[in-house]
């Protein structure tokens, strides 16, 4: 008989290795107003969130005040409106900036938002009896500030490439000395993947952007060579992680390997810590589905694993979308759920107790080598063109992304790529999470825009009524213009604008007057569509288009328009490419148009159908403007269809207003959409009905 003991055997003792520190946990948040967003931030921080990720609304991102004509319908929808230093104070009220890690998704006007952030921190320090300079030196966080990917995928650019690179260079050289813990740029490949980038393209284009920025900083002569490692150490990246999590994890290891090689060999950085690949991540919102949205939870978890499992390539900060982002704006509870996913992995699992799980894996090593080799070849191709900026200006990079996206859509349509609940396993039980769609998402109060317009007008009026304040604002804007005409750093002039109460719209307009504006290539005309004649379905649609043209005696013309400030053009581009492949003549003028411009193009081109794409939630304001504009021009008989993230109740209202059809993310079949185009045109022109090609 075994000898009894009062103490447990060694097997009963849990072995618990030391744990690594978790990554910074964020949720991407902001809406309605600075005060409402501040309340949301403080609630999220109280729930264990360890950093802030600020979502700005589209007028703020594109340098317009709420009362500008292009801001109509966009204020407070996809983020928080920040127009001046007063808004910035409210946004971070009771949040000590010297102790916070804040990521700001801002690009074209990044310099001014950073200037206001610094001034707000200085004011907090003075109110607390602290030294403002010491607090500024402690500021930690990131301004995204990657204008290259804006030209390629997101569309919130303002200025041409040359001046945009100058603004980035000014910020980098300023922060490395004055705000040494700040990341002045976040090379952002996230939206490149959403625009169709393969892993090789995502790595290559991000690295090409980083090379362009670092070359510009080096060539400015403002940072001595012996201190250049400090610049490299503050360059961070923001990436996307899709559901193919093994490939995505290998992509991250490829990023790490390439960044170490480029910074060592091209820039002579000898300190390994300065060469570390530092990145944050939001997992793939594009892959979230409107159909069976509960499946998005497991997609998000798998995508999070891609950037956390490998210790040698682990993200420094993670923010997860909510399960219902394909339906509309997530509620605070939905954002809490996304945060809890991170916390369970970091604190309940044993992931952070081990070294890298994939070191020495021949499968992983082979895949990483494959991505690295492909990325190097593409980087060399871009460098042969003169670098990332010429590759943007020529339209090469944009066309390549549109082509990659088109091929991805074709694979989904053909069933080669399975999306559960969308093109396979479509039968489903009723979803209790979406039983009441109007309460399954958060909606922005209709009075938000009007309140913001009144507030910014009152701010400017009160400022200008005070001779001292008004005079200071006028002088600061003139100084900004004068500095922009030189090669001096624009950061100090921007800080003075912030202190003087200049608005974002005024700051951006002053620089527009000096730098001009830029409309990036759409990538549609040079993009590869269906190269082999397409599927039988597409050929059948093409036949219907040809027969309809014969009956009408004219070419069928379709206008694809993007009114408002929404720069998410991927869907519009794919519609334009497929319509061209189906035999339509396509008019696509790119992003950021007023409803009047869409109407004018439709009338001038004598189109048979207008397709309006809006993903920012401004459809209920902008689509009626298009409909009314067409009627006013005597073209009210032109059918209008609408695509975007549109709740069912809004779709019903749009149809009642006269919209011919509404398409949402669940309508992934482009051939079916083209088929509907033909049906709608034939019905409007009084032609007899035909058998649909995709029935």
Q: Which residues are catalytic?
A: 28, 190-191, 562, 566, 568
φ/ψ of 36, rounded to 5, equals -65, -40
Q: How far is it, in rounded angstroms, from Cα 369 to Cα 263?
A: 19
Q: How many CA atoms lie within 13 A of 599 on its CB side?
A: 19
Q: What does the H/E/C string look like for 62-118?
A: CCCCCCCHHHCCCCCCCCECCCCHHHHHHHCCCCCHHHCEEEEECCCCHHHHHHHHH
Give the length of the chain: 695
Are 533 and 409 in contact, with CB atoms under 8 Å apart? Answer: no
Instruction: Tell me how crowded residue 366 is: count the other CB atoms within 10 A of its CB.
Output: 10
- Please state at what angle helix 491-499 crosses helix 504-515, rounded to 10 degrees: 150
The string of DSSP letters for 623-688 reads HHHHHHHHHHTT-TTS-EEEESS--HHHHHHHHHHT-SEEE-TT---HHHHHHHHHHHHHHHTTPP
Token pair 């067409």: residue: 630
DSSP string covering 160-216: -HHHHHHHHHHHHHHHHHHSTTEESEEEE-HHHHHTT--HHHHHHHHHHHHHHHHHH
The Cα–Cα gap between 142 and 53 comes to 9
User: With DSSP H G I counted as helix, E B as strand and the rest as coil, what are the percentages for the chain, rounded to 5?
Assistant: 55, 10, 40
Phi, psi of 380 (to 5 degrees): -60, -40
Q: Per DSSP, what are the bridge partners of residue 348?
A: none
d(Cα 263, Cα 272) in Å, to the nearest integer?
10
Structure tokens at 485: 């005409």
280 phi-psi bin (left φ>0, alpha ψ -120 to 50, beta other): beta
* Burial class, 605, CB count within 10 angstroms (exposed 0-12 / middle 13-18 / buried 19+): middle
Residue showing tokens 């200008």: 464
């Amino acid at each position: 008989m075994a000898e009894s003991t009062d103490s447990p055997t060694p097997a009963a003792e849990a072995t618990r290795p030391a744990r690594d520190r978790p990554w910074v946990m964020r949720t991407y948040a902001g809406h309605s107003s600075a005060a409402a967003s501040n309340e949301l931030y403080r609630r999220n921080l109280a729930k264990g969130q360890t950093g802030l990720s600020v979502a700005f609304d589209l007028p703020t991102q594109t340098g317009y005040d709420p009362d500008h004509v292009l801001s109509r319908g966009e204020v407070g929808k996809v983020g928080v409106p920040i127009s001046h230093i007063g808004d910035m104070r409210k946004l971070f009220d009771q949040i000590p900036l010297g102790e916070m890690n804040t990521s700001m998704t801002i690009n074209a006007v990044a310099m001014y938002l950073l200037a206001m952030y610094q001034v707000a921190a200085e004011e907090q320090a003075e109110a607390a009896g602290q030294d403002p300079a010491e607090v500024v030196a402690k500021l930690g966080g990131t301004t995204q500030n990657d204008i290259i990917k804006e030209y390629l995928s997101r569309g919130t650019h303002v200025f041409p490439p040359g001046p945009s690179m100058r603004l980035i260079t000014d910020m980098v050289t300023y922060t490395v000395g004055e705000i040494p813990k700040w990341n002045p740029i976040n090379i952002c490949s996230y939206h490149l993947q959403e625009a169709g980038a393969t892993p090789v393209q995502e790595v290559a284009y991000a690295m090409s952007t980083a090379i362009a920025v670092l070359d510009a900083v080096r060539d400015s002569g403002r940072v001595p060579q012996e201190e250049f490692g400090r610049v490299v150490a503050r360059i961070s990246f923001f990436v996307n992680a899709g559901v193919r999590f093994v490939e995505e994890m290998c992509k991250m290891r490829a990023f790490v390997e390439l960044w170490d090689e480029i910074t060592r060999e091209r820039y002579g950085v000898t300190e390994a810590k300065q060469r570390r690949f530092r990145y944050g991540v939001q997992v793939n919102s594009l892959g979230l589905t409107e159909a069976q949205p509960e499946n998005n939870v497991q997609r998000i978890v798998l995508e999070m694993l891609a950037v956390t499992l490998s210790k040698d390539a682990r993200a420094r900060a993670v923010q997860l979308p909510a399960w219902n982002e394909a339906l509309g704006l997530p509620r605070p509870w939905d954002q809490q759920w996304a945060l809890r996913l991170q916390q369970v992995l970091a604190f309940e699992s044993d992931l952070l107790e081990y070294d890298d799980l994939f070191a020495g894996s021949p499968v992983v090593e082979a895949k990483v080598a494959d991505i690295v080799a492909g990325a190097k070849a593409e980087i060399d191709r871009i460098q042969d063109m003169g670098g990332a900026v010429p590759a943007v200006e020529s339209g090469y990079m944009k066309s390549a992304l549109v082509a990659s996206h088109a091929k991805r859509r074709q694979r989904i349509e053909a069933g080669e790529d399975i999306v559960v609940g969308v093109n396979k396993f479509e039968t489903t039980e009723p979803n209790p999470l979406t039983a009441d769609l109007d309460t399954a998402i958060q909606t922005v109060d209709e009075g938000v825009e009007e309140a913001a317009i009144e507030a910014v007008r009152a701010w400017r009026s009160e400022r200008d009524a005070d001779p001292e304040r008004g005079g200071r604002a006028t002088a600061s804007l003139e100084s900004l213009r004068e500095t922009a005409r030189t090669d001096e750093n624009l950061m100090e002039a921007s800080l003075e604008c912030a202190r003087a109460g200049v608005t974002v719209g005024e700051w951006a307009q002053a620089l527009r007057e000096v730098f001009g504006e830029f409309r990036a290539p759409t990538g549609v005309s040079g993009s590869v569509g269906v190269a082999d004649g397409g599927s039988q379905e597409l050929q059948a649609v093409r036949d219907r288009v040809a027969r309809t043209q014969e009956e009408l005696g004219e070419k069928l013309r379709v206008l694809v328009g993007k009114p408002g400030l929404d720069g998410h053009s991927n869907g519009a581009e794919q519609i334009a490419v497929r319509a061209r492949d189906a035999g339509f003549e396509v008019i696509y003028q790119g992003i950021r148009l007023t409803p009047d411009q869409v109407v004018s193009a439709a009338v001038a081109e004598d189109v048979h159908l207008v397709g309006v794409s809006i993903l920012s939630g401004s459809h209920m304001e902008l689509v009626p403007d298009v409909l009314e504009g067409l009627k006013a021009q005597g073209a009210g008989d032109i059918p209008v269809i609408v695509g975007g993230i549109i709740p069912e109740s809004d779709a019903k209202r749009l149809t009642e207003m006269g919209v011919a059809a509404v398409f949402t993310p669940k309508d992934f079949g482009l051939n079916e959409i083209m088929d509907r185009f033909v049906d709608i045109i034939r019905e409007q022109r009084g032609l007899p009905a035909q058998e649909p090609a995709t029935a």
